[in-house]
Amino acid sequence: MSQTPHRTSLRTLQARRLLALGLLCVLAGCVTRVGVAPMPAPPIEVPAPAITFSNPVIEPPVRASIAPPPLPTYAQPPCPEEGFQWIPGYWHYGPMGYYWVPGTWVEPPQAGLLWTPGYWDFVSRIYAFNAGYWGAHVGFYGGVNYGHGYSGSGFDGGRWEGSVFFYNTAVVHIDWAQVHHTYSETRVAGSKSSQVSYNGGPGGLRVKATRQELEVAQEPHFTPNPEQQLHAEAAAHDPALAVQRNGGHPAPAMVAAARPLNAAPTAHLPPVAPPRVAKKPGISMRSPAAAPPPAKTKGPEKAPSEEW
């Protein structure tokens, strides 16, 4: 008689466990039927695909305690090669102080790219240089009016039509025997008289980047090509281009060059025959032997030397 209650309670306990297990199974089935998914597996990290662009950081930070001199005015040499783009001259800084890097024509790394010039910016009581870069759009360059298409914002010296670059002859100077794709548009109004070479600080420009220019800064960029880098290095080792020698006024013959310094005359690509494209309003398609047409109301076209 003493064992009967114990057996009854054990059976009851087992029955309760089986009932609870059954209820759990039923609930699990109900949850599955109403669409509640099980806990997802942790995501698998996939590496980003490699790209051919690089960041515009190409040199150690360049700093100076004094402002760069004003920009010199100069005549732009004619574009020597179809597809080349103008890289405006600028003041750089090194062991011998400020020195001038002449403006020159270079070939972009690939079709569709435009050059954003470097510029000086006054930050935390010091002048810092922001290096230039190639990209799909022209970004912020401090509002500095470098001239020849770079009036302080954007670029109006030319544009890409597919894989062909067209030159705005109202702004840039070309060699009509070498360049065949042109158009003419009045330049965008800018601070033509300004020769200030830096943004911010005492006497500097008061320009802030637009939202569009800030977005361009986040896009992939190409660093300057080897010809540009050799060009800048040659300028850094030429005492005649240093401010301590020229007082901030480089000789006219050294302010700009048709090709990068130390560039071999035959180091460029052979001319490419212009493709057959539909003629558009404002675009002139000329053969290599054709001379520029005479102006109707003005004299022959001149290099826009001035005209900031």
Residue 21 lies in a domain: no
Residue 218 lies in a domain: yes
Range of the domain at 238: 62-264
Q: Which residue, among 5, 81, 118, has the nearest Cα to 265 in the 3D structure?
A: 81
DSSP 153-214: SS--SEEEETTEEEEETTTS-B-TTT--EEE--PPPP--TT----EESSTT-B-----HHHH
Residue 121 placed within a domain: yes
Residue 280 domain flag: no
- For 53-76, write each residue's pLDDT tens digit: 444 445 678 999 999 999 999 999
d(CA 285, CA 280) in angstroms, rounded, equals 9
For strands 62-64 and 133-135, give the pairing. unpaired
- Please count the structural domains in the chain: 1
pLDDT digits (tens, 9 = 90+) for 281-293: 443 333 334 444 4
Q: What is the DSSP letter of 147?
A: B
Asked whether the whole model's pTM tops 0.75, one would answer no
180-212 residues labelled b (16+ CB within 10 A) or e (exposed): bbbbeeebeebeeebebbbbbbeebbebebeee
Low-confidence ranges of the chain (pLDDT < 50): 1-7, 30-37, 43-57, 190-191, 265-308
282 lies in a domain? no
